[in-house]
Chains A and B, each alone.
Chain A
């Protein structure tokens, strides 16, 4: 359900501007902060942003299940 860190969707997620219909407050805040890191564009910041987002979803698989589906459309739960 959660793509591996090397999946290109992570880079799109943390460095893009696309707005998603996210339900969870923690997901909204975490993603905003990850995007601020990702916006710096250097490789280290981008990786840090991906790590932050990926680790969050791994630890919150149940609570963020709906939002994970929304963010990674096409993934089957």
Chain B
């Protein structure tokens, strides 16, 4: 089950005891009884009838009957690197972190150096708020086992699968590297001044301004065929600083994305259909929702929260993430 439900239906599902993932309004998440679930705040969804904003319903992902066990935990920023050590022997770990939190920032910048990060599927999202409430309301995550919520920790649900079942994480990223300049950085970071354009040191904000770059298009890196986006958060032409929603990494070559040649929703629909995926869990980026005007439009058969960042092992931007069991 991957759908929007009423609070009473959500309570009924928690009472059944099956491991669940929730996304929705803070007040609704607070009203849920304790149980085997984690949740995060967000009012935007890919619903069965298309992109939708609501604070009246919760999005629930109910895991299949063969899922043996699910244990949830809040990880403080200092404990995040322990997550891979807690991976189930065979299973998948779902993670939710609040936007702009230390947990999300630390995860984004340091997770790739954690021992064993890629050893088991790690998938999830960054919780957020109504865009009209940015700066006024803090995004939160919830650990259903205790009823605790946090603005700074990561909520993780470790799920065990039976022998013979495997979780597979994948992404749909409509962006590919364009044919333009190779952009590299001499340090990792979410906020930069300089970069190297085809090996020549440049101020990135100046470069973007000179070229009149459309920063709705992300920087894209090629991870052995997997296109990994870094979305622009802001370009300060006066301070000559450029900030991102996910970090750039030293040694990785980025190029500006090629502009899409067709409508976002149509392109998503085509790609999702081509994959023939019927995922257990999916999420898509708020920037795709906004830039692609996805409200009221379906994105294939994929339903789930619209998020402030996506996790497929590492933090991604402007990407749909999904997980399936085989």
Residues of A within 8 A of B (CB): 19-22, 24-33, 36, 39, 55-56, 59-60, 62-63
Contacts and interface: CB of A to CB of B under 8 A. Distances in A.
A26 B224 contact: no
B119 A28 contact: no
B27 interface: no
A29 B166 contact: no
A22 B112 contact: no
A63 B166 contact: yes
Given A25-B171, A26-B121, A29-B313, 9 more contacts: A25-B313, A26-B118, A27-B224, A28-B224, A29-B223, A36-B250, A55-B116, A56-B118, A59-B119
Contacts of B267: none
Contacts of A56: 118-119
Contacts of A59: 116, 119-120
B118 A30 contact: yes
Contact of A31 (B119, B224, B312, B313): B224
Residue of A20, A21, A32, A59 with most partner-chain B CB within 10 A: A32
Which secondary structure dominates where chain A touches chain B? Answer: helix
The 3 closest A-B pairs by CB, nearest first: A28-B224, A30-B118, A32-B223
A49 B120 CA distance: 18
Size category of the B interface is: 20 to 34
Contacts of B112: 33
Interface of B: 112, 116, 118-121, 166, 168-171, 223-226, 228, 249-252, 312-314
B169 A25 contact: yes
22 contacts: A20-B224, A25-B169, A25-B171, A25-B313, A26-B121, A26-B313, A28-B223, A28-B224, A29-B228, A29-B312, A32-B226, A32-B252, A33-B112, A33-B118, A36-B249, A36-B250, A39-B251, A55-B116, A55-B119, A59-B116, A59-B120, A60-B119
A4 B226 CA distance: 27
